[in-house]
Structure 1
Amino acid sequence: MASFILKRMLNVIPLLILITIISFAIIQLPPGDFISSYIARLQQMGEMVGPEQAEQLRDRYGLDQPIYVQYFKWMSGVLRGDFGYSFDWQQPVSKVIGERLALTLVLTLSTTLFVWIVGFLIGLYSATHQYSIGDYIVTFFGFIGLATPNFMLALILMWIAYAYFGQNVGGLFSPEFLSAPWSIARVIDMLKHLWIPVIITGTAGTAGLIRIFRANLLDELGKPYVATARAKGLSEFKLIFKYPVRIALIPFVATVGWTLPKLISSATITSVVLSLPTAGPVLLKALQNQDMFLAGSFILLLSVLTVVGTLISDILLAWVDPRISYN
């Protein structure tokens, strides 16, 4: 196991370097740069910016240098813990990311626990009660959950809450706690609002895991070793949880590789609709405004978390499923 982990970690280094180069190049592909977008916004507001001012701004932020020079300067800063400066937010990138990463972490982990717990329990019931009324009901709502986009579900819920209850379900805080310092009261207020985005962002994932877990468990329950164990008098509870459930849990373990990147990208469109102060909308705005250091830092974090998540997922899969070889 140790040599397996070491090999995978050594393979990660060149992969991450390649990803950062490609990501930084892709960010530069659209015509213009942040200064061009910034000048265009100023002109829309009636302010005129001359060519000399534009060149001064490019020189100030180092945008007049070749792309490879900008990349190496950025990467040298990243190695020192300096992710650069956000042109759009007029703040260091680390501060912009840090303010929202904690809330994104809370939302993502809460959603993941919701998806895993609900998906496991309902999938287990559906597989062990195949073709029952409960199974048909779960299947019906599962297909609805898979077919309904999260942002549409958010819009419907917001309309129902406002039209019939006069409440705004957007955001993670009440108006009086938006700018308040952290306290027990603010945490409690956040928990009161947290369940709505958790249910909305977790609906499709829960429905998908239910279907996958049900199918895998039914496949395992139909194998000869299960029939043999049942014929030998093994209790149904021990029979199901000894091996079939362990094998059927592989999709849950495999999704660990997707969970860590969600800490950054977490349901961007849904977060915009619900006005959630998470990292996803910030990444979207950075890409739209060509705020290259902020966008590049987000993509770097996404890449690192994806690779780390995949490594963790592979290790857990090797532990859960003894059929997997380290070679």
Structure 2
Amino acid sequence: MSLARYILWRLAVMVPTLLLISALVFTIIELPPGDYFESYITELQAMGESADLAEIEQLRTKYHFDEPAVVRYFYWLGGMLHGDFGYSFEYRLPVSEVVGDRLWLTILVSFVTIVFTWLIAFPIGIYSATHQYSWGDYGLTLVGMIGISVPNFMLAVILMYFANQWFGVSIGHLMDQKFLGEPMSWEKFRSILSHIWIPVIIIGTAGTAAMIRRLRANLLDELHKQYVTTARAKGMAPGPLLRKYPLRMALNFFISDIGSILPSIISGAEVTAIVLSLETTGPMLINALQSQDMYLAGSFLMFLAFLTVIGMLVSDIALAFLDPRIRLGGEARK
């Protein structure tokens, strides 16, 4: 199967896949009894306040909550196809306006975290594999085990405690308090840059430790294969040998992870973001699911599904180019 035919086939398969996912997302969001308006009225009554029933009824009619769920699904699906992701009842704004700066801040934090993970994990993983059972390998393996064992949110709590006890400062938020809700400016951007390194280190710790272990294991497996022994016997220098063959083959897992990296750029580390009070989309998604803000939650989940499907396509194509043993479409080559 040619590359062009393979891409066209995968793109064609994406359409029914996303339609099925959209139906599942809508069904899951509809499963809890009631809707956002009922939850909102109950919450106000619990606080001793009264709700504007006329406004609520107007919103129910406008967004078809007085019609069957199947009808609402097709209205929601048709709106997304035209770029209308619906209305957030919690924020009383269109979904596209609610996400706003939070989406770009999430992309920034996630992108910097991915770069941080790669820059730290690759040299350490290569060193551990090429210096197996050395003191450096043992020490780095111990650090990696600690990084995997300690949850990100727990590390965030520990750092917040010591930062407050030792330095009397709070390490929460992605910017100074005075910039919250303000439009982007050079001063706000500098404030973000000065705050971003703490969540990047916290969120990236577990991912870095896991990537080190996986790269080390895969590279060790390749280094013990017969073709490496043959290349060494022929006098090939260790550096070129490592880069040309074993390292290239050991990167398969890294390429296959693209499918999960893309959606994680948008979703972010939800629990860690809540602990650190980060202005990212993760806490917003959790809150939307809890309050049954269906259009906001559904749009988030559909965007994550779309990025996952695209990421899997990109990783499959990249793997075919990286590893000659992999063939698009699964056909064998004689």
Query: TM-score of the superposition, structure 1-length normalised?
Result: 0.96
* Cα displacement (A) at 1:41: 1.2
Letter of the 1:272 counterpart:
I
1:89 to 54, 67, 91: 91
Q: Is the counterpart of residue 15 in structure 1 residue 21 in structure 2?
A: no
Q: Which moved more, 1:248-257 or 1:282-291?
A: 248-257
- Relative to structure 1, is the Cα distance of residues 50 and 305 closer, same or farther in structure 2, using a 3 angstrom cutoff? closer
Q: How does 1:285-324 map to 2 (within 5 A)?
A: 285-324=287-326
1:202 to 191, 201, 204: 204
What does the per-residue CA deviation read over 1:90-119, in whole Å, with 9 as the maximum and x for residues that have no partner? Answer: 000111123211001101111111112211
Q: Is the 8 A contact 1:209 1:251 kept in 2?
A: no
- Relative to structure 1, is the Cα distance of residues 54 and 6 closer, same or farther in structure 2, using a 3 angstrom cutoff? closer
Letter of the 2:84 counterpart:
D
* Cα displacement (A) at 1:52: 8.0
| CA distance in 1 between partners of 2:165 and 2:110 (Å) | 29
Residue of structure 2 in register with 1:246 after alignment: 248
| CA distance in 2 between partners of 1:94 and 1:39 (Å) | 25
* Cα displacement (A) at 1:174: 1.3
Letter of the 2:106 counterpart:
T
Q: Is the counterpart of residue 40 in structure 1 residue 29 in structure 2?
A: no
What does the per-residue CA deviation read over 1:53-87, in whole Å, with 9 as the maximum and x for residues that have no partner? Answer: 86555334421210011111111111111111100
Q: Which moved more, 1:132-141 or 1:49-58?
A: 49-58
What does the per-residue CA deviation read over 1:238-276, in whole Å, with 9 as the maximum and x for residues that have no partner? Answer: 011111000111121111111111122211000000111
1:156 to 155, 158, 167: 158
Q: Which moved more, 1:50-59 or 1:243-252?
A: 50-59
Letter of the 1:226 counterpart:
V
Letter of the 1:87 counterpart:
F
* Cα displacement (A) at 1:176: 2.7
| CA distance in 2 between partners of 1:304 and 1:96 (Å) | 20
Number of equivalences:
327
| CA distance in 2 between partners of 1:295 and 1:175 (Å) | 27
Residue of structure 2 in register with 1:236 after alignment: 238
Q: How does 1:53-68 map to 2 (within 5 A)?
A: 55=57, 58-68=60-70
* Cα displacement (A) at 1:20: 0.3
2:171 to 153, 169, 172: 169
| CA distance in 1 between partners of 2:62 and 2:327 (Å) | 54
Q: Which runs of 5+ in 1 are unaligned?
A: none
Q: How does 1:72-221 map to 2 (within 5 A)?
A: 72-221=74-223
Q: Is the 8 A contact 2:317 2:328 kept in 1?
A: no
Letter of the 2:217 counterpart:
A
| CA distance in 2 between partners of 1:168 and 1:296 (Å) | 34
1:28 to 27, 30, 49: 30
| CA distance in 1 between partners of 2:162 and 2:52 (Å) | 50
| CA distance in 1 between partners of 2:281 and 2:225 (Å) | 45
User: Secondary structure in 2 aligned to 1:295?
Assistant: helix
| CA distance in 2 between partners of 1:173 and 1:79 (Å) | 35
- Relative to structure 1, is the Cα distance of residues 51 and 184 closer, same or farther in structure 2, using a 3 angstrom cutoff? closer
CA root-mean-square deviation: 1.5
Residue of structure 2 in register with 1:325 after alignment: 327
- Relative to structure 1, is the Cα distance of residues 86 and 50 closer, same or farther in structure 2, using a 3 angstrom cutoff? closer
| CA distance in 2 between partners of 1:278 and 1:138 (Å) | 32
Residue of structure 1 in register with 2:332 after alignment: none
* Cα displacement (A) at 1:147: 0.7
Letter of the 1:203 counterpart:
T
| CA distance in 1 between partners of 2:177 and 2:297 (Å) | 29
